A and B are shown apart, each in its own frame.
Chain A
């Protein structure tokens, strides 16, 4: 996004200095330039939209069969809430012109001139509406992260109400600080595609939610964490791979420009970090648990991807490998630490999106190259600690604002409509108690035409030549 992403643009210049040359570039753009850029952003938006399928599969794989339908309902309602609320107010708060903290123009996409109402985006030679589509899919990703940690015990209405507040206020406020040309942007804070803005924020809301909710029944017994295994590792890993594919839109298309083809570099860095994340989590799982935990390997890929999301345009490929490896390796020990704190995180969003998001955002300050940022160089490359300090207080501000805001909202929900389902409903499963139907009906009830002992074909004829089968027609 991210005016900052252009190598040619001096990142430390004031906002106007940045926007003016970019505007000039946009005005010089040919129709073909605009068409190609718009196609890149549209393709990116479609890929990021598809990440909802990834979250759906990852979360349902790590939930129990009795809650499978509820996970699907949650994903589809959150996507709907995001598009409507982001269209109404979120996009304006995040990317509209306003002050250093929030934007305040272009409500309901009612825009006379994007260049004045959305000057943070005006420097890009791409269609304005496709920018909205792209940003809305990012907001939806952030919201999807929140509820993975809260699954199997949250009231359905709470998803909608929190979603409205999160997409309509919390997420776009922090997005505005950096991507909307706000105060962090002016300090030189870098977050290319959203390690902190999208992923850390989602994880902070998830932390607030699970703290107010409490753990699932049966998660902590006799002071120890006991496993509540998710019902399908194949679905979980399918989700991880869909997310990995979706990330090819998330990071590369965040250039919002295909001119110069820099997005291809970012695609390389993103894949390297994801691959290194899997290796990091696998080795750490083997060392810590003496097992090759499938779900942790999947989390490792996500952690590597989250970690590289902020620095992907600012670091060399070798640094992407280091960033991804560390991101993945911290997941297994953090899962244990979070269990020890008696915090219940069924999907591992707190380590994979939260801590890896912090790591990735800080890693810019360690590994960024002056050539790629157009400004400061990272600490480990001899550039001093200046960028690292900006990254640090950018994260501190995000943590402070989002965690407090989300704790307030979840507490308010708890004491009004209620945040958690009753114990009876939780034990029965959210599918039947909240939705009146099952995600996997045959698992729980008799379904007409699906008798289990005949594999769903009750009238299946006997195999010919089976001497042991007696049919009524020939029986005496």
Chain B
């Protein structure tokens, strides 16, 4: 098993006719993801990559029975696309788009949540259950089906850690990039319970960074509610305060959201924290 997505997941792509959307749709199809259609307002009735295009998410769902939408729409149009998804019966929206204005995300998050739709992202690489379903932009060949769950605020840093897991033969049940923005739809604490309940996940890696309190809240949850082994890696130990480090969400605002403060909280909760990436595998096997 895996969490959230598997071989039965039916996926539509919002922004399927765009440069990024069409490229990654092809990659996902190659991986075996069941892409059943796409949405580009105004292009309904046409096809791309042998898949039908619809004008709205609702229309796409009623025609294809899709349960997940993945969005590659440019930032300027992201709010409209997210509200379109909120106006449908989709179960999950994965927002890959980078640079969406914070207030747009906030409003879309509220609309999606009111409908019980889970949001992952924005500004994230997506999620993959290796061997079953890939939704997003991550390179496929570094992944191996296995029993480690992974949740990360970063993209390429995640790939780096996945490669370590795969090279060590551990493999992954599901890897989720939750995104690097201040407002994101799913946080560590929203996803950890799913891994705890998944019989095929044996352990979990949390990949965090500076900014916010999500890792601290995750640490409390792990301590109070999880039996499975959880280990962590934190980026930004050397980040100077007051500077946004690339991700809009990665900024050290006070003494509480530095990497050092978070590492201390994670360790207090019994979560070992790797000092360098190559230590992650060893900590999982301890």
Query: Does B associate with A?
Result: no
